[in-house]
Amino acid sequence: MSITLKDIASDAGVGMSTVSYVLTGSGVNKVGKETRKRILASAEKLGYLPNIGARGLSCGRTFMIGVLLEEQEFASSFYPDILQGLEHVLNQRNYGLLLASYSSAEELKAKCFYLLQRRVDGVAAFPGAWLDDLSPMQPLLEKQIPMVTMTRSFPGIPSIGIEPFVIGETAARYLVELGHRNIAYAGPESSPRRTGILSVLGKETCPTFGKLASYDFELGITLFDWIRSLAERPTAVVVESDIAAVALIRTACASGWKLPRDLSVVGIDGLDFGKISLPALTSVGQPTFERGEKTAELLFELIDGRKVDNFFFQPRMIVRESCCSLE
Amino acid sequence: MSITLKDIASDAGVGMSTVSYVLTGSGVNKVGKETRKRILASAEKLGYLPNIGARGLSCGRTFMIGVLLEEQEFASSFYPDILQGLEHVLNQRNYGLLLASYSSAEELKAKCFYLLQRRVDGVAAFPGAWLDDLSPMQPLLEKQIPMVTMTRSFPGIPSIGIEPFVIGETAARYLVELGHRNIAYAGPESSPRRTGILSVLGKETCPTFGKLASYDFELGITLFDWIRSLAERPTAVVVESDIAAVALIRTACASGWKLPRDLSVVGIDGLDFGKISLPALTSVGQPTFERGEKTAELLFELIDGRKVDNFFFQPRMIVRESCCSLE
DNA sequence: TTCACCAAAAAAAACGATTGAAACAAGATT
DNA sequence: AATCTTGTTTCAATCGTTTTTTTTGGTGAA
């Protein structure tokens, strides 16, 4: 079929262990100069490509890491960037990226077994927003597979992201500077993001809409109805995701509101995607590509047996057009 | 480390070949009933998970297929759906999906070698729009790796998609029914999509804007300027991609045009994404998930040694709000 | 009794690598 | 002259499977 170490060995007239030493570089000053040259020439001539699978079997690694992602969220567009960051660092170490997506807890569990069968060296997990805990991932945890989570964090597993509290603070601080005081929040009641907002406002509470079931466009209608139903109308709203924020903008404009005059909107994620909205969405941004890169780096630390901590990026405001000054 | 065939063999007090026969089902009536039961029990008890890599080494397959995708396009949001369709069918056969993205011809070539190293059983390729020919994929072609292309087709390689000519026809037919006659096309001069439009119009030519360099949002400005510059203003325009179409709508509205009254816009791809535009984008849709599924199926055909032909889906109009009737 | 035949199970040879230990010169040390 | 180095190179075991080939008993027929 394809060229193996043995083929090269016989072509160069040496034993195959010698070939292995030369080609992997592991026997760096074990092999004579002449022999090394001859082997390299043969390998080049025959177009040798190492069989990573076989290598893996032999040295107890597969040089692959698995990525678990929730289908709904995957579709929602900032994952490709993260994945590319991941892949970028992975490839530098000749590692591969195995995709595993899921849309329910059972499926997630099945994919964990799937990754175990493939003996991945590590796992980058995106736990879906609806996931209550990591119990479906038990199979992975039991076997102590190196793992890093993204978008969310769970006790005991290193995670990469932005401190939700800081996101809230950042958004609120920006709005307060523009003169807003009555700010609503569309997202879970219990979210630290909300706490961040409240801490900046120095308030105990604020209008909150927690039931962001899906991240769908239809959400815009729900959110707009909610805003309109509020007794004291907020001048600004911070929305849990960019998609929901854009959907809200769309619905409000379709209903005749003039944005941002009638309502300032801040999204979270900072996706490019927000640019096409009219007005274009102002959002609290997170580095995406870099996030993937960092994930890979932490994963390698874990694989090499070192302990790692959570890692946080600093959020930054991506100012576009969806907020106005009240002064 | 983890449980192997040998462990089960000794636990059940049999030879490991017997275990293999039972667990793979390949020795269906070679093993006695009693023994089979005992082996199954041991496997269950010890929590055995086969090592796919080792199996692959032994039987000359890796049970993985590689996906080549262009980074820019990957980010542009309808790939996740296709990938999920792919993965869905792949998993049914216990196959895995290895990701390989690229952003230049050299990188593409490197990724081909990368996939060869990993000995994937097949490749699903998304050749980037800027790719002139398949020469960077030579390494894969030489080794006769089963391959299917998507989004575009090249001679000699089976591809999956929609006949571009039919897309053009579908869009044009829809617009003509609404009373449009003066239709512009934003996309390559040489595209069969354009030919499809012209054939429906019964015209020799139509206003065409071929220089859609990237699929970026900034494109909206370029496209709008082009539309405005046309001597005889078209009543409708068909745009090469949904993103560009939404960007155009955005720019036109921001400049005070009332859409669809002042201009009807049809996109191509039918992404959900178009819903958030205001007016929501009408588009010629392509099944995405199904496309991924079909790709996997064709790939399996090829892997099993059968010949396969190009496969075409029927496009369908996804009617939303961006077109108006002239009557 | 002997031989062929069968089913069931086990042994052994791949698959394509890595790697620790052994072999082999040739020159230096006692 | 015997032993020790030292630098090269090869052997052989290993990784966890599959698959071909052999080895077992046990039957039934000659």
Q: Which nucleotide is nearest to A7 (CA to C1')?
A: C16
Distances in whole angstroms, Cα of residue A286 to Cα of each of A190, A242, A275, A280: 21, 12, 15, 17
Distance A32 CA to C26 C1' (A): 15
pLDDT, position A30: 82
Which residues from chain B sit within 8 angstroms of residue A99, using beta carbons? 67, 83, 87, 96-99
Closest CA to B297 of B84, B67, B68, B90: B90
CB B295 within 8 A of CB B160: yes
pLDDT, position A124: 98
Structure tokens at A113: 């077994």
Q: Is A32 helix (H, G, I), strand (E, B) or coil?
A: coil
How far, in Å, CA of B23 to CA of B130, rounded?
A: 48
Taking the alpha carbons at both ends of chain A, their separation in whole angstroms is: 75
Minimal Cα–Cα distance from B322 to chain A, Å? 13
pLDDT, position B31: 85
Residue numbers in chain A where pLDDT is lower than 50: none
CB A283 within 8 A of CB A249: no
A74 to chain B: closest CA residue: B80
Task: Tell which strand D nucleotides have any atom below 7 Å from a protein Cβ.
Answer: 7-12, 14-20
Residue numbers in chain B where pLDDT is lower than 70: 76-77, 213-217
CB B81 within 8 A of CB B292: yes
Closest CA to B315 of B286, B294, B273: B286
Task: Tell which strand C nucleotides have any atom below 7 Å from a protein Cβ.
Answer: 7-12, 14-21
CB B124 within 8 A of CB B299: yes
Q: pLDDT of B174-209, one tens digit each? A: 999 999 999 999 999 999 999 999 999 999 999 999
Give which of A99, A142, A143 to mutate to test B binding, by max B Cβ within 10 Å: A99
How far, in Å, CA of A259 to CA of B104, rounded?
A: 41
Distance A24 CA to C24 C1' (A): 24
Of the candidates B77, B272, B278, the beta carbon closest to that of A254 is on: B278
Which residues from chain A sit within 8 angstroms of residue B101, using beta carbons? 83-84, 87
Other C-beta atoms lying within 10 Å of the C-beta of residue A165: 16
How far, in Å, CA of B26 to CA of A242, rounded?
A: 52
Query: Which residue type is seen at B159?
Result: S
B99 to chain A: closest CA residue: A97
Q: How far is CA A258 from the centre of its chain?
A: 34
Instruction: Supply φ then ψ for residue A69, to 5 degrees.
Output: -135, 150
Diameter of chain A measured on Cα atoms: 87
Q: Which nucleotide is nearest to B56 (CA to C1')?
A: D17
Minimal Cα–Cα distance from B203 to chain A, Å? 33
How far, in Å, CA of B194 to CA of B169, rounded?
A: 9
pLDDT, position B97: 97
Burial zone of A266 (CB within 10 Å; 0-12 exposed, 13-18 middle, 19+ buried): buried
Closest CA to B193 of B234, B138, B152, B235: B152
Structure tokens at A92: 């530098």
Is B109 touching A (CB cutoff 8 A)? no
pLDDT, position B151: 83
Cross-chain residue pair B98–A101, CB shorter than 8 Å:
no
Distance A37 CA to C29 C1' (A): 33
pLDDT, position A243: 87
Which residues from chain B sit within 8 angstroms of residue A247, using beta carbons? 276
Cβ neighbours of residue A15 closer than 8 Å, sequence gap 6 or more = A9
Q: What is the pTM of this model?
A: 0.90
DSSP bridge pairs for A99: A67
Distance B33 CA to D30 C1' (A): 33
> Within chain B, where are the H helices?
5-12, 16-24, 33-46, 52-59, 71-75, 79-92, 105-117, 138-142, 164-177, 192-201, 219-229, 242-254, 289-303
Crossing angle of helices B219-229 and B242-254, rounded to 10°: 70
Give which of B98, B117, B275, B281 to mutate to test A binding, by max A Cβ within 10 Å: B117
Distance B284 CA to D21 C1' (A): 61
Structure tokens at B13: 């007090």
Query: Which residue type is seen at B152?
Result: R
**How many inter-chain contacts (A to B, CB under 8 Å) are there?**
128
Which residues from chain B sit within 8 angstroms of residue A79, using beta carbons? 80
pLDDT, position B6: 94
Structure tokens at B244: 């560009």
- The position carrying tokens 């119990």 is A135
